[in-house]
Structure 1
Amino acid sequence: MRLLGTIVTLVALVVVVSGCLGGSLLATGTTSSSQTFTEGVNDFGLRLVKTLWEREGGNVFLSPTSIALCLSMVAHGARGETQREMYETLGLAALTPEEVKRQNARLVETLNTASSGVTLYTANALWAREGIPFYQTYLEDLTTYYRAEAETVDFTDPATIPRINQWVREKTRGTIPTILDRLPENAILVLLNATYFKGKWETAFDPAHTQDLPFFPENGTPKDLPTMWQEGSFLYLETEDFQAVKLPYADDRFSMYLFLPRKQDGLGAFLGKLSGSTLRDWIAAMEERQGEISLPRFRVTFERVLNDILIALGMESVFNPSRADLSGMLPVSPSANAYLSEVKHKSFLEVNEEGTEASAVTSGIIAITAVPFPGERFTMRVDHPFFLVIRDERDGSVLFAGAIENPEG
């Protein structure tokens, strides 16, 4: 199985479990709305990865789940055109606001459901500025449906940013130390999501087989990376354009899917064909095959403010100080209007012989205009740009997503 590339494109897991979960908040959720929600967020995450990589190349790794949860907390307080644009961009336009909040409650519950062999959780928080008259119903809904930890703090206190960063550090087990370095003077609310995943492979890579082998970045100089190897029976797919393989984790619930374009410079063409539906079709077409795979041992970090990408995807009004309608959060007026000032995303990924550790944090800062992826044995060697997905096998959700052009050993 040849899978070692110049670019690693990673679309990992949107961990959403199918089926009916207990709890009064989830009682009205239907299978149809659950499927619509999962497919919508997956498609949003893939579009986000594609857009980022097409614009900038390099390594792109993110968590659609984390970003969608943070933006959903914003959208819960949006009204009119602002809310409509946000739900359309998130792939949730077919759902009512009531269904969206209940599906997010189901998602949070699912992500925090124990699974043997894998550590997975998500956490939300809101930090409100002292003296701002947020509607109590808005704050209560975030604590109820999103399990958001809520605090009212003095945004001018130098200790506030370190406190928020400490929350991030704790929730990501130290893999992401900070998310904020400053707060705008007119910031009135910080919304946060942190998502963490750590899983051991169902079949670990034997470190005795790891050796330095060349990796060929698309537009860079080849470099040696510690490269893992194993052989066995895998779910596998090959087409004229790419090879793909499934690497399950120990709990049978989660899996990583690796997609390796046949051409060293083929990642862009691959991403051009990628969508939520093509990803589902490719995974469904996989068959058991004997083969071998070599994969770099690598680590990736990613950080980006997402405002311009979200606007390009259709989420325009919420970032416009004069057009945003966040009147479901607090009283607003033409002279004191609330808007989404910044969305920042940080992520971390480490893949080694034992398994995978991944984390992500998304922050959303609300400001105000006035203060306040039967045949012969295969071989797949990952030594040039490739694509991967970590997936919840219960319902096909995608949690992390990314494009990695030049992994570091």
Structure 2
Amino acid sequence: MRLLGTVVTLVALVVVVSGCLGGSLLATGTTSSSQTFTEGVNDFGLRLVKTLWEQEGGNVFLSPTSIALCLSMVAHGARGETQREMHETLGLAALTPEEVKRQSARLVETLNTASSGVTLYTANALWAREGIPFYQTYLEDLKTYYRAEAETVDFTDPATIPRINQWVREKTRGTIPTILDRLPENAILVLLNATYFKGKWETAFDPAHTQDLPFFPENGTPKDLPTMWQEGSFLYLETEDFQAVKLPYADERFGMYLFLPRKQDGLGAFLGKLSESALEDWIAAMEKRQGEIFLPRFRVTFERVLNDILIALGMENVFNPFRADLSGMLPVSPSANAYLSEVKHKSFLEVNEEGTEASAVTSGIIAITAVPLPGERFTMRVDHPFFLIIRDERDGNVLFAGAIENPEGS
């Protein structure tokens, strides 16, 4: 099954948390721009999941929020057509660069929260190469609006990559051990975002009811997976095409939504109809129903370099060594132009009787062309490919999203 990630939690291009952001930054965004930002990022994440699944199949799980935060940090240093393309691909074309910056600050602030039932945080960091004359205004803006921790390091030092990976490991609580295995010789900046979510169900699944039941992949042999069971009153929706149910977490601000196509091979058709507006309509139409749910206990990991898919979605110039305009980051010349050389995303999801743990990391490497040195009772049996999201109910942000084609038991 394919998994997507939302934003939960998820992990973008540059990032490390360094202290609380002042409330003044959060208060400056209007409700309208806040909604536009949320809808744009959600739509970007859903399009990303759909396109990845259509191209590759299998499990696709990612954090739209993480990727968007990371890319918006890059876009903050972009200018002209490069910035326009990036904002358009991210679903933020209707916002000014100033609004994108302030809404990013709002999102970073809202994603750092903790309660008795849920732990959620995002962290951003940038690792700049020694000797590169980055504009201080750019670096300071990332620290102020993205809470990014900035450090200047020697990219030729063998200890640099282990240090970056150690940061990733710490911020994801060990669920994602590494993000980098090498740095290109012409790399000048690494941007990182790590997003982490751990939530207990409002009502835990009783392990005594977990049993091995068959799961039927769209292609492949059925397999027995440890399958949890629960009955009760749930927000529920059924159409001629799918069933949907919400599983709330102990902190009612968050919930997991499961979408199960009626047909065993129906995930592709479901994703074809999926959009940000359709998702909101489906959620709004859900009503309380008594019923039971069977859900596999599973763990999924996902890793992709996103360059090609982002280019296909319209983000072309920033990856082009000769057309990219990142002149808001540092002075450039025709013989030494900065560009985005790689965007990599890693994510982790585990669903069990107690709740959910999910994390994501996005790395963005900036390189340079020349380096200076109540109804009827229902039964919902999730026994074939399905779709899920983890959603922040307060703002509507999709923290994680996933199309699960073939879950692995844990």
- Answer yes or no: same fold by TM over 0.5: yes
**Relative to structure 1, is the Cα distance of residues 325 and 18 closer, same or farther in structure 2, using a 3 angstrom cutoff?**
closer
- Kindly indicate whether the alpha-carbon contact (under 8 Å) linking 1:112 and 1:121 is maintained by their aligned counterparts in 2: yes
CA deviations 1:193-219 (Å, max 9, x no partner) are 000000000000000000000000100
CA deviations 1:231-260 (Å, max 9, x no partner) are 000000000000000000001110000000
Q: Which runs of structure 2 are paired with 1:116-127 in the superposition (5 Å)? A: 116-127=116-127
**Relative to structure 1, is the Cα distance of residues 376 and 7 closer, same or farther in structure 2, using a 3 angstrom cutoff?**
farther
Gaps of 5+ in 2: none
- Kindly indicate whether the alpha-carbon contact (under 8 Å) linking 1:299 and 1:350 is maintained by their aligned counterparts in 2: yes
TM-score of the superposition, structure 1-length normalised?
0.95
**Relative to structure 1, is the Cα distance of residues 393 and 20 closer, same or farther in structure 2, using a 3 angstrom cutoff?**
farther
**Relative to structure 1, is the Cα distance of residues 216 and 276 closer, same or farther in structure 2, using a 3 angstrom cutoff?**
same
Q: Which runs of structure 2 are paired with 1:299-318 in the superposition (5 Å)? A: 299-318=299-318
- Kindly indicate whether the alpha-carbon contact (under 8 Å) linking 1:8 and 1:387 is maintained by their aligned counterparts in 2: no
For 1:185 and 1:257, how far apart are their aligned partners in 2? 44
Partner of 1:288: helix, strand, or coil?
Answer: strand
Structure 1 residue 50, shift from structure 2 partner: 0.2
For 2:6 and 2:343, how far apart are their aligned partners in 1? 29
In structure 1, what is the equivalent of residue 298 of structure 2? 298
Structure 1 residue 376, shift from structure 2 partner: 1.5
- Kindly indicate whether the alpha-carbon contact (under 8 Å) linking 1:87 and 1:93 is maintained by their aligned counterparts in 2: yes
CA deviations 1:3-27 (Å, max 9, x no partner) are 9999999999999999999712123
TM-score of the superposition, structure 2-length normalised?
0.94
Aligned residues with identical type, % of pairs:
96
In structure 2, what is the equivalent of residue 158 of structure 1? 158
For 1:401 and 1:208, how far apart are their aligned partners in 2? 29
For 1:366 and 1:6, how far apart are their aligned partners in 2? 24
Partner of 1:321: helix, strand, or coil?
Answer: coil
Q: After TM superposition, which residue ranges in structure 1, 4 or more long, deviate above 4 angstroms?
A: 1-22
**Relative to structure 1, is the Cα distance of residues 132 and 264 closer, same or farther in structure 2, using a 3 angstrom cutoff?**
same
**Relative to structure 1, is the Cα distance of residues 22 and 156 closer, same or farther in structure 2, using a 3 angstrom cutoff?**
closer
For 2:42 and 2:213, how far apart are their aligned partners in 1? 33
For 1:182 and 1:10, how far apart are their aligned partners in 2? 22
CA deviations 1:142-170 (Å, max 9, x no partner) are 00100001000000000000000000000
Structure 1 residue 396, shift from structure 2 partner: 1.4
**Relative to structure 1, is the Cα distance of residues 338 and 16 closer, same or farther in structure 2, using a 3 angstrom cutoff?**
closer
**Relative to structure 1, is the Cα distance of residues 215 and 364 closer, same or farther in structure 2, using a 3 angstrom cutoff?**
same
For 1:299 and 1:103, how far apart are their aligned partners in 2? 32
Structure 1 residue 394, shift from structure 2 partner: 1.1
Structure 1 residue 395, shift from structure 2 partner: 2.2
For 2:263 and 2:14, how far apart are their aligned partners in 1? 28
CA deviations 1:373-403 (Å, max 9, x no partner) are 9532100000000011111111211011222
- Kindly indicate whether the alpha-carbon contact (under 8 Å) linking 1:66 and 1:193 is maintained by their aligned counterparts in 2: yes
Partner of 2:382: helix, strand, or coil?
Answer: strand
- Kindly indicate whether the alpha-carbon contact (under 8 Å) linking 1:14 and 1:63 is maintained by their aligned counterparts in 2: no
In structure 1, what is the equivalent of residue 30 of structure 2? 30
Structure 1 residue 116, shift from structure 2 partner: 3.1
- Kindly indicate whether the alpha-carbon contact (under 8 Å) linking 1:10 and 1:60 is maintained by their aligned counterparts in 2: no
For 1:133 and 1:249, how far apart are their aligned partners in 2? 46
CA deviations 1:59-87 (Å, max 9, x no partner) are 00000010001101100000000000000
**Relative to structure 1, is the Cα distance of residues 155 and 204 closer, same or farther in structure 2, using a 3 angstrom cutoff?**
same
CA deviations 1:257-306 (Å, max 9, x no partner) are 00000000000000000000000000000011000000000000000000
Residue range with higher mean Cα deviation, 391-400 or 341-350 = 391-400
**Relative to structure 1, is the Cα distance of residues 402 and 3 closer, same or farther in structure 2, using a 3 angstrom cutoff?**
closer
- Kindly indicate whether the alpha-carbon contact (under 8 Å) linking 2:8 and 2:398 is maintained by their aligned counterparts in 1: no
In structure 2, what is the equivalent of residue 58 of structure 1? 58
Residue range with higher mean Cα deviation, 10-19 or 37-46 = 10-19
**Relative to structure 1, is the Cα distance of residues 141 and 89 closer, same or farther in structure 2, using a 3 angstrom cutoff?**
same
Structure 1 residue 372, shift from structure 2 partner: 3.9
**Relative to structure 1, is the Cα distance of residues 212 and 294 closer, same or farther in structure 2, using a 3 angstrom cutoff?**
same
Residue range with higher mean Cα deviation, 391-400 or 227-236 = 391-400
Residue range with higher mean Cα deviation, 27-36 or 343-352 = 27-36
**Relative to structure 1, is the Cα distance of residues 199 and 232 closer, same or farther in structure 2, using a 3 angstrom cutoff?**
same
**Relative to structure 1, is the Cα distance of residues 12 and 279 closer, same or farther in structure 2, using a 3 angstrom cutoff?**
farther
- Kindly indicate whether the alpha-carbon contact (under 8 Å) linking 1:168 and 1:361 is maintained by their aligned counterparts in 2: yes
Partner of 1:83: helix, strand, or coil?
Answer: helix
Partner of 1:383: helix, strand, or coil?
Answer: coil
- Kindly indicate whether the alpha-carbon contact (under 8 Å) linking 1:232 and 1:292 is maintained by their aligned counterparts in 2: yes
Cα root mean square deviation, aligned? 4.6
- Kindly indicate whether the alpha-carbon contact (under 8 Å) linking 1:15 and 1:397 is maintained by their aligned counterparts in 2: no
Gaps of 5+ in 1: none
For 1:397 and 1:176, how far apart are their aligned partners in 2? 23
Partner of 1:29: helix, strand, or coil?
Answer: coil
Structure 1 residue 113, shift from structure 2 partner: 2.7
**Relative to structure 1, is the Cα distance of residues 78 and 167 closer, same or farther in structure 2, using a 3 angstrom cutoff?**
same
- Kindly indicate whether the alpha-carbon contact (under 8 Å) linking 1:4 and 1:386 is maintained by their aligned counterparts in 2: no
- Kindly indicate whether the alpha-carbon contact (under 8 Å) linking 1:102 and 1:145 is maintained by their aligned counterparts in 2: yes
